[in-house]
Every structure is written in C-alpha cells, then in structure tokens.
Chain A
Amino acid sequence: MLHFPILTVIIFVPILGSFLPLALHRHPAGARWSSLAVTLVEIILVGSLFFLGLKPQAGPQGAWLLLEEYSWIAGFGAKYSLGLDGISLVMVLLTAFINIFCVLISWDAIEEKVGSFFFFILFLEGALIGLFLANDLLLFYLFWEIQLIPMFFLVGVWGHKNRIHAAIKFILYTLTGSLLMLIALIAIHILHGQQTGVYTFNLYQLMHTRYSFTTEVLLFLAFLLAFGIKIPLIPVHTWLPDTHTEAPTAGSVDLAGLLLKTGIYGLLRFGIPLFPNAAKFFGPLLLALGLGGLFYAAWVALTQTDIKRLVAYSSISHMGLMVVGIAIWNPISLSGSLLQMVNHGLSTSALFIMVGMLDERLHSRDFAALGGLWGKMPVFSAFFLLFALSSLGLPGLNNFVGEVLILIGAFQSQPVIAILGFCGIVFGVIYILRMVQDSLFGERRGEHELWDINGREALILVSLALAVLFIGLHPTPLLNLLEHPVQTMLHQTQQVALLGM
C-alpha cells in the first residue's frame, strides 16, 4: 500500500495550479504557459499510476487499485474517501488528456481575461478528477456541483452572443436534477443510519441499505433525473445544444468530452449499484430513452444549419447508445459503453476542436459559409474526415470497437434492441456524411481568407488522431483495465439486488 497520497495530489494539482494563471492575469503569455505546465504535470502524474504496478486489492469496501481515506466531517460520517479502479483510472486519464487540448485550443482564441479563463479550465479539471475518484457520496456530490460553477463562467463570460441565456439554462437544468438527488442522497444516509445505526456516506456501506420498493423507485428516479439531465437523455436534453452553441471551444470540449460522461459514470457507479431492483424495473425505460435519443438526436442533427449544433446533436445521439449499453447491464455491453465514453470523448472533442478552428477562420459556423474546404486547407480537411469517420464508426477507428461491443452485448440478451441500435448507428452515418459533404467538398461558398493548420493545431490533431487509431487498432489494454471493475460491479450489484428482494 502506498503511503504517498497520490490521488489527492492528482486532484489538487489542477485545483491549486488554477490559481497560477489567475495570479498571472496581467501577463497573458505567462497565464497560458503556466496552465499548459499544470496540465502537463497532471498528465505525468496520472501516467505514473500505470507504472506503480497496481493490482486490484479486495478490501472491506470492494476491490480497488488504490484507496485513500481520511476523516472529513465526523458529525455525519462523511469521509474524504477516494478510490481508484480501472473505470476511474480510464476516466481520469481521459480528463487529464483532454484538458491539455482545452488549454492548447484556447491559446489564441481567448484574448480577454486570459488568466480567469485558464483558472476556470484548470479548476474544472480538478473538480472532474475529484468526481471520478470520489468514493463517498457526499464528496462525490460536492465535486458534482462544484464543476457547474466553472462551466457556468466559461459559457457565460467567454461564450458567443446568447451566452448568458445559455449559461443560466445550463446551470438551472443541471441543478434541478442534482438538488433532488441531494434530497435522495440524504434520505439514503438516514435510512441506512436508522437500519444499522451507522451514519455514513460510504458507497459500499450504503449499498446494503434495504428499501421498500416504492422508496427505492423514488430514490432511483431522483438519481436518474440528475444523471439523465447530464447525459443528457431525451426529453431533458434541450439545454445541451444551446450550451454548446454558445460555449467557447474549450468549454464545448470539456462539456462533450467530460461533463456528459459524469452522467453515465454517476449512473454506473452510484445510481444502479445503490438501487439495483429499481434500476431493473426501469431498465426498459432506460433502453427506450437511450434508443429514443439515438434516433431522435440523429434525426434532428440532419436538419441543423450550424455545424456546431450538428456535432452537439450527434453527441446526444452517441450518448443514447451508451445508455443502451448500460441498461443491458452485461459485461460486454458495459465494457462497450465504458470504452465508448473514452471514444466519444476523443472523437467529439476533436470535432468540436476542429469546428472551433473553422470558427476562428470563418467567424461563422453556418453551412452556408462552408464548403470546398478541401481545396484550401487539405491537412485540416483530412483530419476532419478522419474524426468524422471515427464518429460514424468506421472499422479500424475507435468508435467501431465500442459500438460493436455494445451491440454484441445487447444481442446476447435482447436481439431486438441490438438490431434497433444497429439501425440507429446507420442512421448516424447519414448526417455525418452530409456534414462532411457540405463542409469539405463541393463549391467554395465563403469569401474569407483561409489558412491551413499551424504547428500548435497540428500537435493537437495529431495527438488526438493517434489516440483514435490506437484504440481502434489495439483496444485490448483499455479493455483489460475495465474488465475487472466491470466484473466486480456486476457481482456486487447482483448481490445487493438479491439482498433487496
């Protein structure tokens, strides 16, 4: 067991580091370089986790690679408890990875209040990592709500024309869900305390709370609402396209690449394991909402004239398939969904980054101003095509692996769902091909001067493309990481479900 609290360090390097650019707000260059330094230190720290030779250790709180626990609020048994398993490791790695590009993409795009911008980016990174590591419900909730504040500012201060409206819509939507979850969370805490005399927020202990079926359903619905708004499931998805449209590029990348994943992660880590019977009861609903999102968002994406809105709807559509994978709840589909979280994080982030680059050049994201880009910016266009193809699930690229796993998993238990899911994916091909067609090929429609990507932009795109190819060609290392925690989670949930019968 390690004595060095590395998980805490990983959370607090970005949080404390965020004050560096803030302190350097008079020197924009200093603010940029210091934030880049913080994100690089962070990825090195996260990367070092792979070299510690960590093995899952079964303890009294389930199996974890690393566990850190300190007392926090003794009064109600809340502990500062962090747990690292394969799932959190993958998510933390993704967060640290994506945030480097959030800094790089904002290098020239953000010209005003540079210090504060990077403060919020780094603070958000720390909060997200904390969220993926928290093992105590109250701590998780704390990070869950803290992440809203930087995002609110990122959209509201550095966004586009309707930014304030979008920022308020974002925070009101997400808070509505999460405050009801807070009530449910306190209710579990109290129920568990009344049953066992132990007042705690520890996830593993709380799993053993017994509920009447009605209570379990109500509590699960509160959790589902909070996570569902974040994912977002239809019909509570309407905040997402608006927020994406108005957010600065780095904000969109954080939002699509990471914030949406917190919804799925929460459902997987907390929602279903805490209330397995209610989750089973609502399984068909989840499936319907997931499939509905897959089709509906793809359909709406077809009609978009703003390329960023199109990517936003494609994002909702992809999240729908992940929800299907979760709702199927078997090892293959779960691994698929988890892998898909990473894939979607990479591909959609890359698409948002590239849309941001277009916006910097054209000052427009309307298809009316696009078209014929291949002639003017071939390198850019090639990358755009690559990420678009990855997003539609071309074999050999990352999304294919995740989607196929989800479908195989689904086929094992519910073939009809798998067939519908497959149709949904094919449906997605249409709008992505249309996007590529209308932007890269055809007649040049705008008069703006264009220039191909510069070194910094190439660095971003090459790194993301390598990650996309790596997962597409050799997903085994990632799947190996996920295998053990998925098995543990299935086993635990099954036992808890039996207990509640």
Chain B
Amino acid sequence: MPTDWLALSPLLFLAAGGSVVFGAGAFWRSRPREVLFALSLVTVAAAGAAVVLVEPRASSFAGVLDLGNYVRFFNFLFLAIAGLTLLFVRHYARERGFAGDEFYGLLLFAALGLALLAGAGHWLIFFLGLELLSLALYVLIAIRKGEAGSNEAGVKYFIMGAVASAFLTFGIALLYAATGSLDIGGSLGARLQPAELPLFLAALSLILVGLGFKISLVPFHLWTPDVYQGAPAPVTAFLSAGSKVALFAALLRFSLALGEAAWNYALPAIWGLAVLTMVVGNITALRQTQVKRLLAYSSVAQMGYLLMALVAVKEGGAPALMFYLAVYAVMDLGAFGILGTLSGEAADLDALEDYQGLGYARPWRAAVLGVCLISLAGLPPTAGFMGKLVLFKVVLQAHYRVLPVIGILTVIISMFFYLKVVVSLYMRPRGEGPAVSKGEASGALAGAVILILLLWLGLLPGQVLTLVGRIAG
C-alpha cells in the first residue's frame, strides 16, 4: 500500500512551517517579525485547510498515527487555538520584545505536539508528541528572559513536566511488560489473565498520575496557579486551552480503548478524582484575589467537570466530552487572551482591583472577557451553558445520581468567583490601577471570533453537536 503522505499534510505543514520560521530567524539577519508572524499564521491556516479538505484514505498511518475524523476534529481545534493565540500574542510579543523566530517557531512545534498527542496510536508517538509539546512550552513560558516570575514558572513547569514524564514512561514500560505491546489500542484493550491484572493496573495508575499532572487534576494540580501566573498571558492561554485539551483528548481515547475489566477498576478512581477536582478547584478559587490564579483554579475545576463526564464515556459520553473540550478551549483561551491584551507592558493585569471599572474604560474587551467568564460559569446564552448541559446529561444518562448533584453544587459555588471578576469589571469605580493597554487590530479580531463562537455555540449548538455525535458514533 502506498504511503498516504497527503493525509499527514497538516502535520507536515506545521513541521515545515516551524522549521522555516526557525531558519528565517537564523539566516535572515534583520529577523523581520511581521514576516515571521505572517508565515506562522499562513502555516496554521494551511494546516487547518488541509485538515478540513484532505479525506484520509486509511484510518491510520502505518498503524502508529490515527487519521480518523476524531483526530481531524481535534487537529482542527488545535489549529484554531494556535491561530487565535497567534492573533492574541502578536501585539503582546512585539511590545515586550520577544516577537521573533523562537516564539513563533516554538508555537508551531507545540501545535504539532498537540496533534501528535491526540492522534497517537502508538505509545512512542504519544511520548514524542508529549515531549515535543512540553519542550516547546518550557521555553514559551520562560520567554521573557528578564522576568523572574516568567523564569520561575518555566522551571516549575519543567520540573513538574519531568516528574509527569517519569510517571508516564514508567507506566508505559509496565504496560509493555504486562501486555507485550506498545500499540495504544492493543495494549489497553488486551485480554488479561487475572494474574496479570495487578501489573496492568499499576501501569494504568501511573499513566493516570502522569496525565493528572499535565491536565492538573487534584491532587496533582499544585503547579497550575504558579505557572499560569508566571507565564505571559497569551502563553497561558495556549497552555491552558491547547495542552489540556490535547491530553484530555488522549485520556478520552485511552478510556475508550480500555477493556471492560480494567475500566471497572478505573471507574472509582475517576469518580473520586472528579469529585476531588471539582470541589477543591472551585473552593480554592473562591479565595483568590489575583485573576490569573483565579482562572488557573477555574481551569482545574473545568477539568473536574470533564472528568466527571468521563465516567459515562463508554455509554455514549464521548460527543459531550468533545463538545465541552471545544467550548472549554474557546472560553479559556478567550479569558486569558483578553487578559493579555488588557495588560500593560510592565506586568500582566492581575490584581482584581486593577480590573475595576474596565467595563466602561475598555468596553469591548471587557465585554468579551465578561462573556468568557459567564460562559465558564455556565450561564446561558453562552456556550458554557450548553456544554454543561450535555455533560450533565450524559452523566445522568449513565445512571449516576450522586456525581452530577455534587457537580452542580460545585457549579453553584463557582458562580461566586466568576461573578467577582464581573463585579470588578462593571460595578466598582476605576481606581489608580496600572496603565491598561490600548486596543489593537489582531487582538480585537481574536476577541470578536471568540465572542461570536461563544454565543453561536450557546444558542445554536445543533450543528456542532450533530457533528461530534457523528464523529464519535
């Protein structure tokens, strides 16, 4: 069978674009940041077009990389995240002097890492994607070389990433020992003798811990607020939306591939982690007075909602999870992205008091931020409401009773801190806060796209729901 290179074109575009951007930086003395920006954006757009247009002929590439619609859905989502991040970061990076080949090139490679993670059919590819993503993110987080906070965040993420990788590799090794296969579907779905089960479960728990670090499930979430706060806001946006969605997409596929017996062992663990993550994430967020930390804990809690619905994944929960992942990516990216465009040059706008009165001083961006927050809180008419609706629906459909009730109670708790930010934006007078950045075109475009997406998915989600239903079914 001839190799279907065309089906790989999105990945090839990203790799080629990243390399060209790096090359241009190395050989083009003047390092023209606008050209590099345009090149990156074109790369992302071309890769996105390739995802939509190219129908893969086979369902997987050489058995190591899935090419199905599920993967195409997520690849499109990742490219949208990367594109919006580029729009948000353009002005931000230029103002702070880190716009250039390193940043744009690494962002493209990070996007490639995301695609590999979601599409991996083989543990090596998965590991490759994870390391590619993580390496790029270590640098991106610490991209402001003069900033102590940024560097600290980079180091923290690095150490945490190393620990997570260690857990994951060890887990994969044990899985190989238990099943003799490095194929993801084959190893997870292997029929096991009872005697092999302990080894297999040990492998699974190590992998779950590794993933838990990366998507910051409680109790592996402690790095999240520090890293989110230290990283430049657009990078936080990419980290929060991109890497968590990709790893959750992987987790979703692992869960689907898992055999019946092992799944029954995994369920209580997922149930417990979900409750812990929702409760701790939301309650800790209540006390935050810094918006980035608050949003960091909110993203922890959002992962908890997703994990809650993961218990229903074998009973038709996958479309709901895919829908919510897309919604989560848009609203979280929007919140951090707008935060970045509002921030002055010296430091990101972080203290809650500095947001006071922005609803009137910067009405458009404050409105987008407000809609993102309302969506994260799960109120209509935004996408977050529809997302929560489908999540709770699948959980109830799978005959869980206590879990959704705990979930909805934590949603009620979460209202308080989301509204706290809205209150600051609109209901308190503007104080002597730090200077707030003026608007610029690319950030405004990204904000408009996010606003439209959130309202569209909140009011008329029919098409997207049908699409994810068809892909998962």
Interface residues of A (CB under 8 A from B): 71-76, 113, 138, 141-142, 145-146, 148-149, 152-153, 156-157, 163-164, 167-168, 171-172, 175-176, 179-180, 182-183, 186-187, 189-190
Q: With contacts A172-B415, A180-B408 known, is A187 near B396, CB below 8 A?
A: yes
Q: Which residues of A contact B380 (CB under 8 A)?
A: 141-142, 145-146
Q: Which of B50-58, B194-202, B215-223, B421-429 contacts A (4 or more CB under 8 A)?
A: B421-429
Flag if B462 contacts A189 (CB, 8 Å). Answer: no
Q: Which residues of B contact A152 (CB under 8 A)?
A: 419
User: B437 at interface (Cβ–Cβ under 8 A)?
Assistant: no
**Pairs A-B, 6 closest by C-beta atoms:** A75-B465, A156-B427, A73-B462, A142-B380, A179-B408, A186-B393
Flag if A148 contacts B405 (CB, 8 Å). Answer: no
Flag if B426 contacts A156 (CB, 8 Å). Answer: yes
Interface centre among B390, B408, B416 (most CB of A within 10 A): B408
Flag if B385 contacts A74 (CB, 8 Å). Answer: no
Q: With contacts A73-B465, A156-B423 known, is A189 near B428, CB below 8 A?
A: no
Flag if B427 contacts A146 (CB, 8 Å). Answer: no
| B interface majority secondary structure | helix
Bound-complex Cα distance A234 to B379 (A): 26
CB distance from A323 to the nearest CB of B (A): 24
User: B404 at interface (Cβ–Cβ under 8 A)?
Assistant: yes
User: B397 at interface (Cβ–Cβ under 8 A)?
Assistant: yes
Bound-complex Cα distance A176 to B410 (A): 10
Partner of B393, one of A172, A175, A180, A189: A189
Q: 29 A-B Cβ contacts within 8 A?
A: A73-B460, A74-B462, A74-B466, A75-B461, A75-B462, A75-B465, A75-B469, A113-B360, A138-B389, A145-B380, A146-B380, A156-B423, A156-B427, A163-B427, A164-B427, A164-B428, A168-B423, A171-B419, A172-B415, A172-B416, A175-B412, A175-B415, A179-B412, A180-B408, A182-B389, A182-B392, A182-B408, A186-B389, A190-B393
Flag if B408 contacts A72 (CB, 8 Å). Answer: no
User: B344 at interface (Cβ–Cβ under 8 A)?
Assistant: no
Bound-complex Cα distance A113 to B363 (A): 12
Flag if B423 contacts A190 (CB, 8 Å). Answer: no
Flag if A183 contacts B405 (CB, 8 Å). Answer: yes
CB distance from B389 to the nearest CB of A (A): 7
The proximity string for B residues 386-417 relative to A, scoring 1 for CB distances below 8 Å and 0 otherwise, is 00011011001100000011001001100110
Bound-complex Cα distance A153 to B461 (A): 26
Partner of A176, one of B381, B405, B412: B412
Bound-complex Cα distance A149 to B385 (A): 13
Flag if B416 contacts A142 (CB, 8 Å). Answer: no
Partner of A183, one of B392, B416, B465: B392
CB distance from B107 to the nearest CB of A (A): 34
Q: Which residues of B contact A187 (CB under 8 A)?
A: 396
Partner of B426, one of A148, A157, A179: A157
Flag if B462 contacts A168 (CB, 8 Å). Answer: no
Q: With contacts A164-B423, A190-B393 known, is A149 near B379, CB below 8 A?
A: yes
Flag if B427 contacts A157 (CB, 8 Å). Answer: yes
Q: Which residues of A contact B396 (CB under 8 A)?
A: 183, 186-187, 190
Partner of A179, one of B374, B411, B460, B469: B411
Q: With contacts A76-B393, A113-B360, A156-B423 known, is A183 near B379, CB below 8 A?
A: no
Q: Which residue of A lies closest to B393 (CB)?
A: A186
Bound-complex Cα distance A93 to B27 (A): 73
| A interface majority secondary structure | helix
Q: Which residue of A lies closest to B377 (CB)?
A: A175
Flag if A190 contacts B408 (CB, 8 Å). Answer: no
Flag if B397 contacts A75 (CB, 8 Å). Answer: no
Q: Which residue of B lies closest to A155 (CB)?
A: B427
CB distance from A362 to the nearest CB of B (A): 25
Q: Knowing that A145-B379, A167-B427, A179-B412 are A-B contacts, what are 17 other residue pairs whose CB atoms are under 8 Å apart, sorted by A's residue number?
A: A72-B462, A75-B466, A75-B469, A138-B389, A142-B381, A145-B385, A148-B379, A156-B427, A164-B423, A167-B423, A171-B419, A175-B412, A179-B411, A180-B408, A186-B396, A187-B396, A190-B396
Bound-complex Cα distance A146 to B404 (A): 22
| Chain B stretch 413-457: residues in CB contact (< 8 A) with chain A | 415-416, 419, 423, 426-428
Q: Which residues of A contact B389 (CB under 8 A)?
A: 138, 182, 186
Interface centre among B390, B460, B462 (most CB of A within 10 A): B462
Partner of B392, one of A163, A164, A172, A186: A186
Q: Which residue of A lies closest to B405 (CB)?
A: A183
CB distance from B279 to the nearest CB of A (A): 16
Partner of A172, one of B379, B412, B423, B465: B412
Bound-complex Cα distance A110 to B379 (A): 28
Q: Which residue of A lies closest to B461 (CB)?
A: A73
Q: Which residues of A contact B374 (CB under 8 A)?
A: 149
CB distance from A142 to the nearest CB of B (A): 5
Q: Which residues of A contact B427 (CB under 8 A)?
A: 156-157, 163-164, 167
Bound-complex Cα distance A459 to B131 (A): 72
Bound-complex Cα distance A172 to B413 (A): 8
Q: Which residues of A contact B426 (CB under 8 A)?
A: 153, 156-157
CB distance from B132 to the nearest CB of A (A): 35
Bound-complex Cα distance A179 to B462 (A): 22
Bound-complex Cα distance A141 to B392 (A): 15
The proximity string for B residues 301-329 relative to A, scoring 1 for CB distances below 8 Å and 0 otherwise, is 00000000000000000000000000000
Q: Which residues of A contact B392 (CB under 8 A)?
A: 182-183, 186
Bound-complex Cα distance A167 to B422 (A): 11
Bound-complex Cα distance A71 to B462 (A): 9
Q: Which residues of A contact B466 (CB under 8 A)?
A: 74-75
The proximity string for B residues 461-473 relative to A, scoring 1 for CB distances below 8 Å and 0 otherwise, is 1100110010000
CB distance from B409 to the nearest CB of A (A): 8
Bound-complex Cα distance A156 to B425 (A): 11
CB distance from A405 to the nearest CB of B (A): 36
Q: Which residues of B contact A153 (CB under 8 A)?
A: 426
Bound-complex Cα distance A153 to B425 (A): 11
Q: Which residues of B contact A183 (CB under 8 A)?
A: 392, 396, 404-405, 408
Interface centre among B374, B389, B404, B465 (most CB of A within 10 A): B389
CB distance from B91 to the nearest CB of A (A): 27
Q: Which residues of A contact B415 (CB under 8 A)?
A: 171-172, 175
Q: Which residues of B contact A156 (CB under 8 A)?
A: 423, 426-427
Bound-complex Cα distance A72 to B427 (A): 35
Q: Which residues of B contact A141 (CB under 8 A)?
A: 380
Q: Which residues of B contact A172 (CB under 8 A)?
A: 412, 415-416
Q: Which residue of A lies closest to B424 (CB)?
A: A164
Bound-complex Cα distance A164 to B419 (A): 10
CB distance from A15 to the nearest CB of B (A): 10
Q: Which residues of B contact A186 (CB under 8 A)?
A: 389, 392-393, 396
Flag if B412 contacts A190 (CB, 8 Å). Answer: no
